[in-house]
Amino acid sequence: MPVTHFATMMLQRAILGAVVAAAIAFVAHAARALSWSGALVAVVIGSAAVAASWYWGALLIAYFVVSTLFSRFGRTRKEALTSGVLAKGGKRDATQVIANGGIFAACLPLSAITVDKVAVTLSLAALGALAAAAADTWATEIGTLYGGTPRSLLTMRPVPPGSSGGVTIAGSLAMIAGAAFVAAVAVALDLTNDLVIIAIAGVAGAAADSLIGATVQERRWCAACDRGSEQRMHNCGSSTRLVGGREWMDNDLVNLIATFVGAAVAVLLAYV
């Protein structure tokens, strides 16, 4: 196929993908799942996915719809449980969307314009990154709602629901299910045959998220409430102080690293 014709096809798909992604992002914003900045970035990521192929777009839609439904389910109870703990809640902003979908979106156009082993490698990286994002999201949403009191992955001491690095049995099972879901949909869409590799990569990425959350991510303390939090300014109105981790390592950066780990593990496992 001539290069100019191929480029034209990709551009056409990107434009159509932007239209579809904009419609979905508008609905997500109306449902309070995305902020306006998050919706805008979601459109860009959706365009990149469809530019690669409609099958990639279908995979992204499946991931987004199911993950959003889990986020919405039991939302009032989850907000009550995590109130004062999470640095961000409610609508996902641009930074959060990039952290979860940025690596996935970056790999796809490159995989479409390369050939042979490079294209396969980038496709595996994209799938591993998305599987990690799904695994982490499902673990957080299901674990918070049904997992009871989480325990620190590092010390195994109880931590407040929503605390980074906190794990539960329900959340761990949901993590595996989230990674397997992306892998299964990808296989069904004929994007890969490596179901097990993608599932393992997703779990590895989400596990890295928990490990970094328990060790390097900033941990803060509100003296007024005598409670741990990720917020710089606690919802009670008092400033919090750093009691662990690194101040520059926030949850968004941890999520980005987790998707990178998912991408890297998928590639490494495929070629080991």
Per the model's pLDDT, the better-predicted residue between 8 and 203 turns out to be 203
Q: What is the pLDDT of residue 75?
A: 83
Percent of the chain with pLDDT over 70: 98
Is the per-residue pLDDT at 117 higher than 60?
Answer: yes
Q: Are 57 and 108 in contact (CB under 8 A)?
A: no
Q: What is the pLDDT of residue 77?
A: 86
27-36, 46-55, 119-128, 219-228, range with the lowest pLDDT: 219-228
54-58, 172-176, 243-247, range with the lowest pLDDT: 243-247
Q: What is the pLDDT of residue 46?
A: 95
Mean pLDDT, residues 147-165 taken together: 84
List the chain domain ranges: 3-271
Q: Are 161 and 167 in contact (CB under 8 A)?
A: no
Is the per-residue pLDDT at 181 higher than 80?
Answer: yes
Q: What is the pLDDT of residue 53?
A: 92
Mean pLDDT, residues 246-268 taken together: 95
Model confidence at 3, pLDDT cuts 50, 70, 90, reads: low
How many C-alpha atoms does 57 have within 13 Å on its Cβ side? 22
pLDDT tens digits, one per residue of 60-105: 999 999 999 998 888 888 878 777 777 777 789 999 999 999 999 9
Q: What is the pLDDT of residue 239?
A: 87
How many C-alpha atoms does 132 have within 13 Å on its Cβ side? 33
Name the nearest CA neighbour of 20 among 61, 63, 55: 61
Highest average pLDDT, of 70-74, 158-162, 256-260, comes from: 256-260
Model confidence at 106, pLDDT cuts 50, 70, 90, reads: very high
Q: Compute and round to an integer the Cα radius of gyration of the chain.
A: 19
Q: What is the pLDDT of residue 5?
A: 62
Q: What mean pLDDT value characterizes the chain?
A: 90
Residues 101-126, buried b or exposed e (16+ Cβ, 10 A)? bbbbbbbbbbbbbeeeeeebbbbbbb
Give the sheet arrangement for strand 241-244, strand by strand: 227-229, 219-222, 241-244
In angstroms, rounded to a whole number, what is the distance separating the alpha carbons of residues 198 and 62? 16
Structure tokens at 127: 């799938």
Structure tokens at 137: 């999201």
